[in-house]
């Protein structure tokens, strides 16, 4: 990996610099002083770095709090749905979107996205291929002939 780059051309995870904002927010979390808004800010930062698994943990923790207002709660469920979709966790993604739809049918076209995810879920079941969930923007699809 010359220059600290993985074969995909992205910086290798071990050499990727951690933003100062992450360090500050993580310090607050580690001290036990994290509010839902701190966890939401940390999740947004992780999402910008395409670290979905870490963002999902922060978002799930933020939902446990009663501190989020209605719009923030919808944002958290929407972001979780996007993460779950990339991780191929369609039932959980659809469930998150349904929580939004129960409060606001018109938020970010959730009804259309639910339909799309249901179709993706059916296609995944009908056309089995080896699919790996990933923290990338789209799932990595691996040809069955080239199984690891």
**CATH assignment of the domain containing 131:** 1.25.40.10
Q: Count other Cβ atoms within 10 Å, centred on residue 33.
A: 9
Q: Is residue 27 part of a domain?
A: yes
Q: Is residue 3 part of a domain?
A: no
Q: Is residue 58 part of a domain?
A: yes
Of 82, 50, 80, residue with least CA distance to 64: 80
Contact 110, 78 (CB under 8 A): yes
Average pLDDT (90-118) is 96
pLDDT for the residue numbered 1? 41
Q: Which two tokens stand for residue 16?
A: 């990727």
pLDDT for the residue numbered 34? 87
pLDDT single digits (tens) 51-101: 999 999 999 999 999 899 999 999 999 999 999 999 999 999 999 999 999
Find the domain containing 62 and state its range: 17-146
pLDDT single digits (tens) 32-41: 888 999 999 9
pLDDT for the residue numbered 131? 61
HEC secondary structure over 103-138: CCCCHHHHHHHHHHHHHHHHHHHHCCCEEECCCCCC
Contact 85, 93 (CB under 8 A): yes
- Give the global pTM: 0.75
């Amino acid at each position: 990996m010359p220059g600290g780059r993985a074969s995909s051309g992205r910086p290798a995870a071990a050499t990727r610099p951690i933003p100062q904002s992450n360090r500050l927010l993580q310090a607050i979390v580690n001290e036990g002083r994290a509010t839902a808004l701190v966890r939401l800010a940390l999740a947004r930062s992780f999402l910008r770095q395409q670290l979905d698994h870490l963002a999902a943990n922060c978002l799930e923790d933020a939902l446990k709090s009663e501190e989020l207002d209605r719009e923030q709660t919808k944002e958290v469920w929407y972001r979780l749905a996007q993460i779950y979709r990339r991780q191929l966790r369609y039932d959980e993604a659809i469930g998150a979107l349904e929580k939004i739809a129960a409060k606001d049918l018109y938020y970010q076209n959730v009804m259309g996205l639910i339909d799309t995810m249901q179709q993706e879920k059916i296609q995944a079941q009908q056309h089995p291929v080896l699919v790996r969930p990933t923290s990338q923007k789209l799932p990595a699809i691996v040809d069955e002939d080239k199984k690891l």
